Structure 1
Amino acid sequence: MTTIDPGTPTWLRAHNDRTAFRLLLEHGPLSRSRLGQLSGLSKPTAGQMIQRLERVGLIEPMGETSEARGPNATVYGVRRDSMTGVAISILADAIEAVVTDPTDAEHPVVVLPTADLDRSPESDVISAIDAACRAAGVPRTSVSVVAIGVQAAVDADVDEVSLTDTLPGWPLVGARARIEEATGMTVILENDVNLATIAERNHGTAADAESFAYLWMGWGVGVGVDVAGVVQRGASGSAGEIGYLSVPRSALAYAPDANDFTDLLGPQGVIPLLGGAAGDTVETALTRLAGHPELMSALADRVSVAVRLVEALLDPGLVVLGGQTGIAGGDELAALVQERLDRERPETRRARRVLEVRASGVPTQSILRGARRLLTTHIRECLEETIAVG
């Protein structure tokens, strides 16, 4: 990274150009005069910023607009092809993928079943990239970075994935390096619950929260921890892996055979609780919640045990119930859990609500949406770096 001394003409130009770039991302295509108004800089200076950004290939003309006086003015916008990536979510039985660009434009989402695939880090990711690019109509050669959500703890420092059984063919160590070597791309590996937490912050019910915990309940059980908009990953990427923790004695009243929180709230706990048959998926079992208040109440009993643990460890102001189970239970489940917590709270703390429970506001593809958000941020930061040296 090139360092520019503050206060020098070069630093001022880079500062102004980055401001212009961010405004174009925030507001979409702008004319020179409108860019000057939004930036607080003169129209000639705005014109110079546009010229420099266009010269380094970050923006281009995108039509004209009529202004109050004079002829129509050219509007400029950020080029979608200035840097392209693919966001990927590797699920238990499928891979989701979507092309991502600096404008965060919508592109088709592809879903690849994995049942018949010969699995490896390289083949999974290359198949996803190829399918996403075909669907979006962009050349694969334009992709330079991928963000991949996996059902595993991810230690980025040593390139290790652990605590997973949904990545057949993936090594415990070196998966990222293998993908980078096979594709020639920058690779970002991230835990699935952390990505769902990012999606909840940016697109869901936690947008107004100072900090919050995201309780994922579905194929597995885990917690995403957001502190002031930053996801906490822990020293080795294992923060929030509560599925492997032993349940407290209080949980045995609801699930006598449960050893850990996965037994309590994972598939092996939820499917029998809801009367599921052998071979049922979590999604199938959860359809029985509708119209059966006794099942919703029994589920709320179990969820409240996990929320109490999260409250004791983190003392968050908000817990969001997500994953397939949290989303299926929705507002009704959140209200029942809230009721249990409020009822058990000491009298001295009932005067104000210390912890709020909400249902997730991202009902579909939360992991993919989080990967897309993470990737968009990465792309924009990389492009800003080119402004400094361009």
Structure 2
Amino acid sequence: MGAVTPAKVLTPAATAAPSPASPSTARAINDRLALELLQEEGPLTAAQLKRLTGLSRPSVADLVERLGAAGLIEVVGESGEQRRGPNARLYGIVAGRAHLAALDVRTDSATAVVTDLLGHPLARAALPVDAVGEAVARLAELTREAGARELHTVVVGAPGLVAPASGELRDTGGLPAWHRDLVAALQETLPARVVVENETNLAALAEQRVGAARDLDSFVLLWLGAGVGAAVVLDGRLRRGASGGAGEIGFLPVPGTPGLPSATDCGGGFHSLAGRAAVAALAAEHGFTGPVEEAVAGAAGEAFLDVLAERLSLGAAAVAAVLDPGCVVLGGELGRAGGPALAARVADRLAALTPVPTQVRATALGGPAVLEGARLAARAAAQDDLFG
């Protein structure tokens, strides 16, 4: 699933010189290359495909015929070239070949978007919470509104631990039962592949592809919202950990909390300093009782921001000392509210806490990053299946 694919282990056999590819293997490789180019670059002419792939004109002609016969590409228009002919036709991926859904499921809300194979949003709506049957029915209705009969792939972003081997959403403290019931109902009722991923991991995927980490191979996303979490991307790959618990930074023991966290309660951990409720309480101590996003954006004053940055730097310092990711992105609703000003404050304090050079950047996406990451993951999973 794109950036969330686990790292591969190189075996002795894999280090041997590769044998020449068979004609069928070569065709499959060329077809996939052409489809990836059409995905990234948009519609292309045969001449453009020839230039970008390095293939001969006859090979490109065969490729176009093969992919067209398979229902994967179609003529979507003409280029602006003066000479008309086959090379002036613009070929694009058949967007309606499959329809996908991305879900952002929070503890008290759920949002779904249905897209085509290229990931273009076609319909979006909130889903009922605490009523699993109604939520599934609303998603089916949304699918029809998008002009689709059924879904090929559904990616659900949810809080909690997701077991890497099974994809099971594990029972963790504070996670409502309807989350697991919803996932089970989707898997049982939909003729679609249903994938569950931790919400912060999906947000990191979005930041990596279209957000603040586009130019980075390694970074940690520090999610700042109702709860706190982290997603770890090293050498271009998401690291989930053995049990899916990599990044559960809310349980990190830090100074300044009334106690220690437990296996079922992060109340004594970093969450006690950086979660929404804790940040709102800190703002109130500084005389500000308005929306917490406004406080983080600067309305609660310089002294408040200084203390908040000090708190956030504790979690960032632990991340830097253990992982050396080179960059920490402050994500979530509060990370977006704080913006570059809060990121700069955290960077200043972080530099005094650790010798490991670490940038601090503000999210480019904020809370919508979860849904965006789910959309990107659904597109990648469906294309992997259909493109071969």
- TM-score, normalized by length of structure 2? 0.84
The alpha-carbon distance between structure 1 residues 276 and 85, as it changes in their structure 2 partners (threshold 3 A), is farther
Q: Secondary structure at the match of 2:195?
A: strand
Alpha carbons of structure 1 residues 85 and 76: separation in structure 2 relative to 1, 3 Å: same
CA RMSD between the two structures: 2.5
Distance apart, 1:132 and its partner CA: 5.3
**Partner Cα separation in structure 1 for residue 187 and residue 295 of structure 2:** 44
Deviation track 1:267-298 (CA, whole Å, cap 9, x = no partner) reads 33111111189xx8xx9222134342222112
User: Is 1:88 paired with 2:120?
Assistant: no
Contact conserved, 1:335 with 1:357, CA < 8 A, in 2?
Answer: yes
> Are 1:97 and 2:112 counterparts?
yes
The residue number in structure 2 matching 1:368 is 371
Deviation at 1:179, TM superposition (A): 2.3
Measure how far apart 1:66 and its partner are: 3.9
> 1:240 Cα deviation (Å)?
0.9
Partner deviation per Cα, 1:139-194 (whole Å, 9 max, x = no partner): 2x2312100000111114342423253434244xx864542221121110000111
- Tell me by how many angstroms 1:206 deviates: 1.1
- CA-CA distance at 1:71 after TM superposition: 4.5
- 1:150 alignment counterpart: 158
More displaced stretch, 161-170 vs 148-157 = 161-170
Q: Are 2:30 and 1:16 equivalent residues in the alignment?
A: yes
Determine the C-alpha separation between the residues in 1 that align with 2:37 and 2:57. 15
* Shift, 1:320, TM fit: 0.7
**1:132 & 1:273 partners in 2: Cα distance?**
43
Q: What do the CA deviations read for 1:232-286 (whole angstroms, capped 9, x no partner)?
A: 11111111112123323x567xxxxx72211111133111111189xx8xx9222
Q: Distance in 2 between matches of 1:383 and 1:284?
A: 46
Partner amino acid for 1:218? G
Mapping of residues 12-51 of structure 1, within 5 Å: 12-51=26-65
Instruction: Give 1:200's aligned amino acid.
Output: E
Percent of pairs with identical residues: 34
**Unmatched tracts of structure 2, length 5 or more:** 1-18, 259-266
Within the alignment, does 1:271 sit opposite 2:286 as a pair? Answer: no
What amino acid does structure 2 have at the position aligned with 1:148?
Answer: V
Deviates more, 1:204-213 or 1:123-132: 123-132
The yes-or-no answer on 1:61 pairing with 2:42 is no
**CA distance 1:286–1:50, change in 2 (3 Å):** same
1:202 aligns with 2:209: yes
The reply on whether 1:382 has 2:382 as its aligned counterpart is no
User: Structure 1 length as normaliser, TM-score?
Assistant: 0.83
What's the counterpart of residue 131 of structure 1? 142
Q: What is the CA deviation profile of residues 58-83 of structure 1, one whole-angstrom value per residue up to 9, with x for unaligned ones?
A: 01121222424344732221001222
- Partner of 2:153, secondary structure, is strand
- The C-alpha deviation readout for 1:92-123, integer Å capped at 9, x for no partner, is 332111123332324343234x4xx4433x65
Q: Give distance in 1, aligned partners of 2:272 and 2:74.
A: 55
SS in 2 for 1:30: coil
Helix, strand or coil at the partner of 2:103: strand
Equivalence map 1:179-328=2 (5 Å) = 179-248=186-255, 259-275=268-284, 284-289=291-296, 290-291=298-299, 292-328=301-337
The equivalent of 2:8 in structure 1 is: none
CA distance in 2, matches of 1:144, 1:188: 11
Within 2, Cα distance between the matches of 1:169 and 1:195? 20
Q: Give 1:189's aligned amino acid.
A: V
Cα 1:157–1:7 change in 2 (3 A) is closer
Gaps of 5+ in 1: 253-257, 386-390
Alpha-carbon distance between aligned partners in 1 of 2:91 and 2:54, rounded to the nearest angstrom: 18
AA paired with 1:155? A
Q: Residue 338 of structure 2 aligns with which residue?
A: 329
Kindly indicate whether the alpha-carbon contact (under 8 Å) linking 2:136 and 2:186 is maintained by their aligned counterparts in 1: yes
CA distance, structure 2, for counterparts of residue 341 and residue 247 of structure 1: 15
Aligned CA distance change for structure 1 residues 125 and 298 (closer, same or farther; 3 Å): farther
Amino acid at match of 1:105: H
Q: What amino acid is aligned across from residue 253 of structure 2 in structure 1?
A: S
Change in Cα spacing, 1:69 to 1:338, as seen in structure 2 (3 Å) is same
Mapped partners of 2:78, 2:176: distance in 1? 50
